[in-house]
């Protein structure tokens, strides 16, 4: 496949990692209410400097997708404080969160949330057009070419394979060159070669923009490429380590214990993603 990455212009560590882009304290998330309420996140403290690459690991059901949804503003925390890119996410209305995300935060979820009535090109271009970005169609086309889908621009999601839909979602997230990229299992539907090429593209785009990259992954190679590995267990941070300090055996064990991934995409997230695209 013809995945194209442009030359990465890595910013120096001191330039990229001085400002926290995510500052979370005692984040809690309870879904449902009363006796049916389930505490999903149980007090997360997390500071992520601008430009850091962070892999989020943990057993199935430990709260990885929920934490990502809160950090990227798709889900509101029940309590705690959260600043993302200098904005107070904890105190914002859903409309304000949607506005704060637009163009600055790229999100790739396990369910891709492509709009079925739009072509691949329109799915990528429309959010940028709505955000008033110049050259949206050209940027969308270039990003689809970059993920190896230059020959699928006018296909609708139903005419694309799962892996192709995943790549459209990745193109949609990366095309606006956001300062933060959140990706939930971005290589989950891809064969090894395509997955490796997508990872290369993610890191290249991240380097070009000095962006922060937070990835949920079960892919050992991908986790190893990140500067930091945070492991969740039962809604809490169980470990938080710079990747270079992790003995390969430990990382391999963590990943091996995290094999029961299922796609838990709530209706709320689906609706939010769609309204993000349509708003
Ligand atoms: N809308 C919901 N209502 C109630 N519980 C929910 C809801 N969404 C998720 N959960 C529960 O929250 C917990 C954490 O789910 P989450 O999807 O964040 O885990 P995860 O670590 O990402 O799992 P996986 O690796 O399987 O994707 C699970 O026990 C799940 O059943």
How do the residues of the chain divide into helix, strand and coil, expressed in percent and rounded to 5? Answer: 40, 25, 35
The reported pLDDT for the residue numbered 14 is: 41
Q: How many CB atoms lie within 10 A of CB 138?
A: 10
Mutate which of 61, 108, 217, 219 for ligand 1? The one with the most ligand atoms within 8 Å of its CB, which is: 61
The reported pLDDT for the residue numbered 235 is: 97
For atom 28 of ligand 1, which residue has the closest CA? 61
Q: Is 128 helix (H, G, I), strand (E, B) or coil?
A: helix
Of the candidates 234, 201, 205, which has an alpha carbon nearest to the alpha carbon of residue 29?
234
The reported pLDDT for the residue numbered 245 is: 58
For the chain, how far is it from start to end, CA to CA, in angstroms? 33
CA–CA separation, 201 vs 4, rounded Å?
A: 7
**242-271 residue pLDDT tens:** 865 554 444 444 444 443 222 323 333 333
- Both tokens of 274, joined, read 């769609």
**138-156 residue pLDDT tens:** 999 999 999 999 999 999 9
- Both tokens of 224, joined, read 């190893």
- Both tokens of 145, joined, read 């070419």
Q: Which atom of ligand 1 is nearest to the CA of 66?
A: 18
Distance 81 CA to ligand 1 centre (A): 21
What is the complex's ipTM, to 2 decimals?
0.95
Q: How many CB atoms lie within 10 A of CB 39?
A: 15
Q: Which domains does the chain have, with CATH numbers?
A: 19-278 (3.40.50.300)
- For the chain (length 279 residues), average pLDDT per consecutive 10? 46 49 96 87 96 94 95 93 92 87 87 93 94 94 95 96 92 92 89 86 87 90 90 96 60 44 34 42
Cα torsion 29, 33, 36, 41 to 10°: value is 10
Q: Report long-range pairs for 266-274 (Cβ below 8 Å, ≥24 apart).
A: 268/74, 268/75, 269/69, 269/74, 269/75, 269/109, 269/111, 269/113, 270/111, 270/113, 272/74, 272/75, 272/94, 272/98, 273/74, 273/107, 273/109, 273/113, 274/113, 274/115
Distance 103 CA to ligand 1 centre (A): 27
Q: Is 43 helix (H, G, I), strand (E, B) or coil?
A: strand
Pairing of strands 228-233, 53-57: parallel
Torsions phi, psi for 46 (to 5 deg): -150, 125
For atom 9 of ligand 1, which residue has the closest CA? 264
**How far is CA 73 from its chain centroid?**
11
The reported pLDDT for the residue numbered 19 is: 63
The reported pLDDT for the residue numbered 188 is: 82
Distance 264 CA to ligand 1 centre (A): 6
CA–CA separation, 84 vs 23, rounded Å?
A: 7
The reported pLDDT for the residue numbered 18 is: 53
Residues with CB under 6 A from ligand 1: 31-32, 38, 40, 58, 60-66, 261-262, 264, 266
The reported pLDDT for the residue numbered 86 is: 87
Distance 259 CA to ligand 1 centre (A): 15
Sequence length of the chain is 279
Evaluate whether 67 touches 44 at the Cβ level (below 8 Å).
Answer: yes
Residue with tokens 């956001």: 178
Per DSSP, 207 falls in state: H
Distance 40 CA to ligand 1 centre (A): 7
């Amino acid at each position: 496949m013809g995945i194209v990455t442009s030359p990465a212009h890595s910013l120096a560590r001191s330039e990229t990692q001085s400002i926290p882009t995510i500052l979370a304290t005692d984040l809690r998330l309870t879904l449902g209410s009363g006796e049916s309420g389930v505490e999903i996140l149980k007090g997360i403290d997390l500071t992520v400097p601008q430009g850091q690459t962070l892999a989020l690991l943990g057993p199935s059901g430990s709260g990885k997708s929920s934490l990502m949804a809160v950090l990227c503003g798709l889900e509101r925390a029940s309590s705690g404080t959260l600043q993302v890119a200098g904005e107070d996410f904890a105190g914002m209305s859903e409309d304000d969160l949607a506005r704060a995300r637009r163009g600055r935060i790229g999100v790739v979820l396990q369910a891709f949330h492509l709009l079925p009535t739009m072509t691949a090109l329109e799915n990528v271009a429309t959010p940028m057009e709505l955000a008033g970005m110049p050259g949206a169609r050209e940027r969308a086309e270039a990003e689809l070419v970059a993920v190896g889908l230059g020959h699928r621009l006018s296909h609708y999601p139903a005419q694309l394979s799962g892996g192709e839909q995943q790549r459209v979602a990745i193109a949609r997230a990366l095309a606006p060159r956001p300062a933060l990229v959140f990706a939930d299992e971005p290589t989950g539907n891809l064969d090894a070669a395509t997955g490796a090429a997508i990872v290369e593209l993610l890191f290249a785009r991240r380097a070009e923009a000095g962006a922060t990259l937070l990835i949920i992954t079960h892919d050992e190679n991908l986790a190893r490429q990140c500067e930091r590995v945070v492991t969740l267990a039962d809604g809490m941070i169980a470990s938080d380590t710079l990747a270079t300090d992790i003995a390969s055996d430990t990382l391999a064990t963590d990943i091996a214990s995290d094999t029961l991934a299922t796609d838990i995409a709530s209706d709320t997230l689906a609706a939010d993603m769609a309204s993000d695209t349509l708003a």
